[in-house]
Amino acid sequence: MLKQLAIKLDQAAASASSVEQLSLTTELALSDAYQVQKLSIEQRLSRGEQLVGYKMGFTSRAKMLQMGVDDLIWGRLTDAMIITQEQAINLDHYVHPRAEPEIAFKLKAPLSGIVTVEQALAAVEAIAPAIEVIDSRYRNFKFSLSDVIADNCSSTGFIVGPWSPADTDISKLQMQLLVDGKVAAEDDSSAILDHPLNSLVEAARCISDAGEELKAGQIILAGAATAAVALAPGQNIEVKVETLGSCSFSTQATSQANSNTSAEACS
């Protein structure tokens, strides 16, 4: 049954079509939801994609309380999700696309289990500004906790800006998400678990609990600093992070009417 659900979500992502929430017909424990996520990503890997890292979600304590959970959630990143600097993405390939400002870590050493902030930092090669594009495959962008986990925590694409040294101070950096040059969302990096490195610590623990580990060369998205911003055709999307710099992409005009119904995002 779990593999059938995984194939359903994989096909929805591949065809940019929405499906009914799994929770409407199937009761999934969180462990089952992560298994569906894994099986769904394995469909992509079987087609030649490569695992390149992980993304963290619910990195805001307020969001955890709001959603009634006491832990972070996480998803997987593949090379097919990479958006390059100033690339124009086709919104026909998305269902409910949204963008979030993030900070990314590139690892130079493995990281697994219970680690300290100092140990996490020692495994970091570089730090960069980033944008994650999230895109739930569920109708009306509405989902339960198990739904969003099964759907790879809505992770669909990401762009990473210039890399800075690992010892760069990222404790309270101003972060802005701009749409066509105007600020659409802003906060500072302390909105990410009080400090983005705390998210990397949690990533090592969460992914170890699932029998995997963060590996050298992988990219870890620390989580969104603000709420997600819905995307529309013909926009330029940019993130600016104090000290770290910026990165951007644009959206192509599309003939498909994407639903951007306001709902809770994985952030």
Label residue 144 by pLDDT band (50, 70, 90): confident
> What confidence score (pLDDT) does residue 126 get?
98
Residue 263 lies in a domain: no
Closest CA to 239 of 138, 99, 98: 99
> What confidence score (pLDDT) does residue 120 get?
98
Side-chain-facing half-sphere of 192: CA atoms under 13 Å:
32
Structural domain count, the chain: 1
Rounded mean pLDDT of the chain?
A: 91
Mean pLDDT calculated for residue range 133-159: 91
pLDDT at 224 over 80: yes
Residue 267 lies in a domain: no
Residue 155 lies in a domain: yes
Closest CA to 81 of 37, 132, 40, 128: 132
> What confidence score (pLDDT) does residue 70 get?
65
In order, the DSSP letters of 117-156 are HHHHHHTEEEEEEEEEEE---BGGG---HHHHHHTGGGEE
pTM score, two decimals? 0.91
Residue 167 lies in a domain: yes
**Of 50-59, 154-163, 209-218, 256-265, minimum mean pLDDT range:** 256-265
> What confidence score (pLDDT) does residue 143 get?
85
The 10 Å Cβ neighbour count of residue 139 is: 17
The one-character DSSP state at 216 is T
Residue 119, domain extent? 2-252
Residue 261 lies in a domain: no
**CATH number reported for the structural domain that contains residue 28 in this entry:** 3.90.850.10
Residue 265 lies in a domain: no
In order, the DSSP letters of 56-84 are EE--SHHHHHHHT-SS-EEEEEEGGGB--
> What is d(CA 165, CA 71) in angstroms, rounded to the nearest whole number?
29
Residue 266 lies in a domain: no
By three-state DSSP, how is residue 164 classified? strand
Residue 260 lies in a domain: no
